[in-house]
Chain A
Amino acid sequence: MTRTIFRRLVAATLAASMLLPGLSACGSSDALVIYSGRNEALVGPLLADLKKEIGTEVEVRYGGSAELAAQLREEGEAGNTDADVFYSQDAGALGALSEAGMLEKLPKSDLDEVEKRFQADDGTWVGTSARARVVAYDSEKVSAKELPSDVDELLDPKWKGKVGYAPTNGSWQAFVTALRVLKGEDGAKKWLTEFKANEPQSYENNVAILDAVNDGQVPLGLINHYYFFRKAKEVGADKLRVKLHYVGGDDPLALVNVAGVGVLKGTDKQEAARKAVAFLLSKRAQQYFADETAEYPVRDGVKSTEHDLPKLSGIQSPDIDLTKLSSLEQTLKLLQEVGLS
């Protein structure tokens, strides 16, 4: 009896797959395939320009940077990836692929465009835009004088239960890695233990922290700068209670991190892939980051016409090799030891 229903269903499935529009009919093998861990809403228009600029067909697959890195590793181990370029939200995912030997060395001409601190030591990836770690604060509850001037001041009992952070977020983990690099393993462990004892409030992501500070739920939040500027553009800066504090100096709270790009080893689109990397470093793309995503350009001479961004050169940041930020495994281990993950 079920056999008949079975047959009908087979027929229905086949008929449905033929009748409905062939949305799966892309995947032309000539196209340059970019796996983008950067959000389509942020970089979609830029990647559309990229397509025009490099003159070949481009397909972009969006996802989370870490999820795409995991997917790329599964594909890479099977020797079967369609991806030619990996465009990542953070250096960590690029570092993981580089360590797995999946990224190609980039040409010197591209690497020379960008400051050394914003690229891989072995030249397998290069930063395309930068973001600063900042302290978001509730301007109705916290005066500018009270703001912490370094990471240790967050441990003060006056901030007990009053600091928002995003434990599962890449930006938080990058900060903790910077903490390890700057303070050493023992120093970082001590800081994290005391930070935990000060009862920080955990949030899903930077946007949630920004909203929580703005709604008066938590007075301080550890976030990246651009979330504020995007929010300010959406609702108007004067309507926001939340304001930004740049700590500056050689402090993990002043970390400047990058989004970056790498080319997959074994790509059959060498030239198109290199053009794509060069485009992301071009003046035009850099202007896009400054204006549209409120990020810092990684090359000189580009200034935002949309956002009131402080100059990157004016923000002191710790002298950290960003490739070290991919040593996330130890960071995670430390966070689990301390009980903050």
Chain B
Amino acid sequence: MISASAIAVGIVALLPLGYLVLRAFERGTGVVRQFLVREHTLDLVLRSVGLTVAVTLTCLVIGVLTAWLVVRSDLPGRRWFGVLFTLPLAVPSYVAGFTWISELPGLAGFSGAYLVLTLVSYPYVLLPVMAALRAGDPALEEVSRSLGKGSVSTFFLVTLRQIRPAALAGALLVALYVLSDFGAVSLMRYDALTTAIYTSYRASFDRTPAAVLGCVLVLLAVVITIGERRARGIAANFGQARVGGGTARTAGATPLGAARPPALIGSVALLLAALGVPVYSLVRWLVTGASAGVDPSRLVVATLTTVQVAGLGALLTVLFALPVAALAARHPGPLARRVELASFAGHALPGITVGLALVFLGVRVLYPLYQETPMLVFGYAVLFLPLAVGVVRNAIAAAPVRLEEVSRSLGAGRMATRVRVTIPLAAPGVAAGIALVFLTCAKELPATLMLRPTGSNTLATELWTMTDAGMYGAAAPYAVVLIVVAAIPSLVLGNALRGSQGDNGGAR
């Protein structure tokens, strides 16, 4: 049952790729080769890879450091920092990009794209690492300390290895996000594979080069996903050292000592860059734009629509993710690996490509649903499946099988065990998955433009309409509400991952 539904989900996730291959090869392999071997294509690949590597590494450092500061250090106000650090997830890359370029135009190019993408995507690393740090067994670190290692070398020798799988899972999401991002790179005028795909659709109305470049993106995504799995596989068994019974305690706070002031300054600087700049810029638009007259009913309708489609999208995505995640967490093997890989393949594609793939599918197969809400929701599920798979897989994996076995051995039936043991253990992770997909759906633009019901608007499409017309003052309220709508689930997310894993993680 789980395998069958997981395979079905894997096939759904591969739809955009199938469409791409069809469009890439519709004029024969010669044309494909012609586009592939151009110097320009290689250049684009290098630029995309360069940006992805730089942003991912920086996010790893920032994400791990901030998670450690929030969970394990005595940083003043660390609870507040824990909440605020997750909030940049709520800022769409095109809003962050626009506000930065309008405040500091000199940033255009690699540095701007690098800065903006790092600031909006480091929480993808922060969140799982925060959870892993809460769940981690401090006994190993104590052993290290008792053997004469200082706190710095203990961090590198023990803690870092414990959180490695979580950090890598987060890094994978960052890498795929950067590869598929169009908003920040186009605003920062950094030519990458995604900008080339858009230019190709916009300028030549020629689908072939766009599809060929899309295939290249998918290939890069597959390489990255396999690489992450290799690295995670090696690391996975470390930290499971506790033999037999006993419960891990919650780790105590490590004193920062002399590092306290720089840690505090660094944290504040990060927040100013990631949240302060966009908020400042939006407020300035609101105040100065003469076009700032906003239609409140329109804003309310767009907000409700956003909540509806993003909410349905999040539920459906997690529904799709459950069998894949359960398979990956409970029955690892070749099938699980393939299905999981399939679910990640489409994530590196820009929204316009997935959008057109769904248009292709919609008009041919699902016509009565085409450009109706269910089709849009289905599109979100295809786009954001990997986000949910990652979070839910970790939640199920963290719920110890042994507790289920104990429940069964004490005479509880299958059903009773599920209801009383597994669900409470995995539920916070499932909720976190829903929250993460919700906020990502709310920010999505290109696929929403193509698949939304004719005449209905989300906050993201309204924002696009206003900024496209150069009406920044009128756009600002939509940007603010969008950030607020996306911030609520990111708060839930922080709490779910902090609370749940801390309470249950010890029962290993």
Which A residues are within 8 Å of any B CB, using their own CB? Answer: 1-6, 9-10, 12-13, 16-17, 20-21, 23-24, 26-27, 33, 39-42, 59-64, 66-67, 69-71, 73-75, 78, 80-82, 92-93, 96, 167-168, 170, 173, 202-204, 207-208, 210-212, 215, 217, 227, 230-231, 234-235, 328-329, 331-332, 336, 339, 341
Contact = CB atoms under 8 A, between A and B. Distances in A.
A82 B101 CA distance: 39
B40 A336 contact: yes
A289 B79 CA distance: 55
B312 A13 contact: yes
Contacts of B38: 336
Given A69-B205, A78-B363, A63 B450 contact: yes
In terms of DSSP, what is the predominant structure of the interface of chain B?
helix
Interface stretch (B122-130, B239-247, B465-473): B465-473
Contacts of B40: 336, 339, 341
13 contacts: A9-B322, A17-B312, A40-B465, A41-B474, A61-B371, A66-B205, A70-B356, A74-B360, A81-B363, A82-B371, A230-B469, A234-B290, A329-B206
B319 interface: yes
Interface string B304-336: 110010011001101100110110000000000
Interface string B448-476: 01100111100001000110111101100
A12 B372 contact: no
Given A1-B404, A12-B315, A42-B469, A24 B360 contact: no
Interface string B335-377: 0000000000000000010011001100110010011111000
A9 B473 CA distance: 40
Contact of B203 (A78, A210, A211, A331): A331
A168 B202 contact: yes
A59 B454 contact: yes
Given A4-B423, A331-B203, 9 more contacts: A6-B319, A20-B308, A26-B454, A27-B453, A41-B468, A66-B202, A66-B205, A71-B359, A204-B187
Contacts of A215: 105
A96 B205 contact: yes
A66 B203 contact: yes
Interface of B: 1-2, 5, 38, 40, 101-102, 105, 186-187, 189, 195-196, 198-207, 288-291, 304-305, 308, 311-312, 315-316, 318-319, 322-323, 325-326, 352, 355-356, 359-360, 363-364, 367, 370-374, 396, 404, 415, 417-419, 422-423, 426-427, 430, 446, 449-450, 453-456, 461, 465-466, 468-471, 473-474
7 residue pairs, one from A and one from B, having the closest CB atoms? A24-B373, A1-B422, A96-B205, A41-B469, A66-B202, A78-B363, A207-B470
Given A16-B311, A67-B201, A235-B290, A39 B446 contact: no
A24 B367 contact: no
The interface centre, meaning the residue of B195, B201, B363, B449 with most chain A CB atoms within 10 A of its CB, is: B363
B315 A67 contact: no
A59 B189 CA distance: 35
A42 B396 CA distance: 50
In terms of DSSP, what is the predominant structure of the interface of chain A?
helix
A41 B466 contact: yes
A9 B449 contact: no
Contacts of A96: 205
Nearest to A231: B470
A339 B418 CA distance: 60
B454 A82 contact: yes
Contacts of A64: 202, 449
The interface centre, meaning the residue of B196, B198, B373, B470 with most chain A CB atoms within 10 A of its CB, is: B470
A211 to B, nearest CB: 8
A5 B427 contact: yes
The interface centre, meaning the residue of A12, A81, A168, A207 with most chain B CB atoms within 10 A of its CB, is: A168
B437 to A, nearest CB: 12
Contact of B204 (A27, A67, A208, A332): A332
B291 A234 contact: yes
B455 A3 contact: no
Contacts of A202: 189
Contacts of A27: 371-372, 453-454
A341 B203 CA distance: 10
A204 B207 CA distance: 22
Contacts of B325: 2
B316 A13 contact: yes
Nearest to A208: B101
A93 B205 contact: yes
Contact of A23 (B318, B322, B371, B456): B456
B203 A173 contact: yes
B469 A9 contact: no
A341 B454 CA distance: 33
The interface centre, meaning the residue of B207, B291, B454 with most chain A CB atoms within 10 A of its CB, is: B454
A58 B470 CA distance: 26
Given A71-B359, A74-B360, A328-B205, A341 B470 contact: no
